Structure 1
Amino acid sequence: MFFIFGFGSKQHDLGAGQTRTCARCGNTTVWNRIRTAKQFTLFFIPLARWGREELEVCSICGNAVAV
């Protein structure tokens, strides 16, 4: 079976974020900043993106906070 379209989410790494103390694990580290978006593709070419948001993610436990 061959699919020519698809739905999914895309993450783009934006680099280092702020130094924060995580509410879940309690460690103080530099968090990673990422941008996420849902997308519709046709033949692996993105045609539409929606639901964009920027997050900072704890580098130890993976807890995410919206920026």
Structure 2
Amino acid sequence: MFLLFGFGTKRKQLGPGETRTCPRCHNTTQWARMKEYKQFTVFFIPLARWKRRQFEVCEICGAAVEA
């Protein structure tokens, strides 16, 4: 029998975040609100998700700040 399984980190964009100045690139822009979690799948069906967190990302340089 052939069993397909996977493990990885998934990110999903939730929409626009706050307008703030980035500590890394020093640009003032609107950041993107993101959700990230780790998951285990079997036959492309997610069976378990853990380490869920929400954060905001600078769209210029990619710096992240917990939301």
Q: What TM-score do the two structures reach when normalised by structure 1?
A: 0.94
Q: Report the equivalent of 2:62.
A: 62
Deviations 1:20-59 (A, max 9, x none): 1000000000000000000000001000000000010001
**Identical positions, percent:** 62
CA distance in 1, matches of 2:9, 2:3: 17
**Shift of residue 3, structure 1, vs aligned partner:** 5.3
What do you get for the CA RMSD once the two structures are aligned? 1.0
**Count, aligned residues:** 66
Q: Report the equivalent of 1:35.
A: 35
Q: Report the equivalent of 1:44.
A: 44
1:16 paired with 2:16, answer: yes
- Contiguous gaps of at least 5 residues in structure 1: none
**Shift of residue 15, structure 1, vs aligned partner:** 0.5
